[in-house]
């Protein structure tokens, strides 16, 4: 009897997970179609369910926005970042590929990004965004450590370097989403210049903070 009950419970859990994923997929499609101003009535209609059913899965509108962001990161952003870092590229082009993957993901789906932001998922639930950044930063830190290790550089700073890169790119992308005073390509160029400049400086010090801090630093133009 216990095995039968546990089996039914497991199947019901799997069903709820699958159903939740289906609702999120349809919700993302509805946001793309109707724009970031879409309401719960329109989202429910797009899913062919009542608002009551949505609230059973997501509690409220903010809960839906949080879940939509987490799902979008899982199915869109992380796979693109993973594809970028798995390519056989030199360090410069790898840096540019990662930045391009992040920026273009935001630029391709502006309505989804603005919907999530408007409904306070980013500002109100840091656990979601922190978990997303940690996942991406860990992937990136592994690549940085491997590349540094190949050159016998210190790998101690791999994790903070990865977090700094992701944080800078995310905040700059957020600014661009609401400002739009430059093109996507220009944003990628500026971010690549900044991030690569930092990586090149780290490489000159072989990844060692001791070496870096012991040297003089000035803004001089190379010939």
Domain borders along the chain are: 1-58, 59-214
Residue 96 has phi, psi (to 5 degrees) of -65, -35
Alpha-helical segments (H) within the chain? 2-34, 40-47, 51-58, 61-72, 78-85, 91-108, 110-118, 121-124, 126-150, 158-179, 184-204, 209-214
CB 80 within 8 A of CB 101: yes
- Looking at the predicted structure, is the pLDDT value of residue 8 above 90? no
- Looking at the predicted structure, is the pLDDT value of residue 68 above 70? yes
Between 55 and 9, whose confidence is greater?
A: 55
Which DSSP state fits 134? H
The pTM score is: 0.83
- Looking at the predicted structure, is the pLDDT value of residue 214 above 50? yes
CB 40 within 8 A of CB 115: no
CB 128 within 8 A of CB 66: yes
CA 116 – CA 123 distance, rounded (Å): 9
- Looking at the predicted structure, is the pLDDT value of residue 103 above 70? yes
CA 81 – CA 173 distance, rounded (Å): 15
Q: Token pair of 166, please?
A: 């992701």
32-41, 69-78, 195-204, 213-222: least confident range: 213-222
CA 172 – CA 211 distance, rounded (Å): 30
Q: Which CATH fold would you assign to the domain 1-58?
A: Arc Repressor Mutant, subunit A (1.10.10)
**In this prediction, what percent of the chain has a pLDDT beyond 70?**
89
Handedness of CA 11, 13, 17, 22 (dihedral sign): positive
- Looking at the predicted structure, is the pLDDT value of residue 100 above 90? yes
Distant-in-sequence, close-in-space partners of 82: CB < 8 Å, separation ≥ 6: 139
Between 20 and 131, whose confidence is greater?
A: 20
Kind and range of the H or E run holding 68: helix 61-72
CATH number of 59-214: 1.10.357.10
Q: Token pair of 92, please?
A: 């410069």
Q: Token pair of 24, please?
A: 């999120």
**Using alpha carbons only, how large is the chain's radius of gyration in Å?**
21
């Amino acid at each position: 009897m216990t095995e039968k009950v546990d089996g039914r419970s497991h199947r019901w859990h799997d069903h709820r997970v699958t159903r939740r994923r289906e609702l999120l997929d349809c919700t993302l499609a509805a946001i793309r179609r109707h724009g970031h101003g879409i309401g719960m009535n329109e989202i429910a209609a797009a899913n062919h369910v009542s608002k009551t059913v949505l609230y059973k899965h997501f509690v409220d509108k903010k809960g839906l926005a949080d879940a939509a962001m987490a799902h979008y990161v899982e199915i869109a952003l992380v796979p693109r970042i993973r594809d970028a870092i798995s390519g056989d590229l030199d360090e410069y082009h790898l840096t540019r590929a990662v930045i391009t993957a992040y920026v273009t993901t935001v630029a391709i789906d502006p309505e989804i990004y603005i919907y999530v932001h408007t409904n306070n998922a980013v500002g109100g639930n840091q656990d979601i965004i922190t978990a997303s950044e940690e996942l991406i930063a860990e992937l990136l830190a592994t690549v940085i450590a491997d590349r540094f290790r190949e050159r016998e550089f210190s790998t101690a700073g791999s994790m903070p370097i990865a977090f700094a890169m992701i944080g800078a790119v995310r905040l700059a992308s957020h600014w661009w989403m609401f400002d739009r005073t430059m093109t996507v390509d220009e944003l990628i160029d500026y971010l690549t210049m900044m991030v690569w400049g930092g990586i090149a400086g780290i490489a000159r010090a072989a990844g060692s903070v001791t070496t870096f801090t012991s040297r003089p630093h000035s803004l001089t133009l190379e010939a």
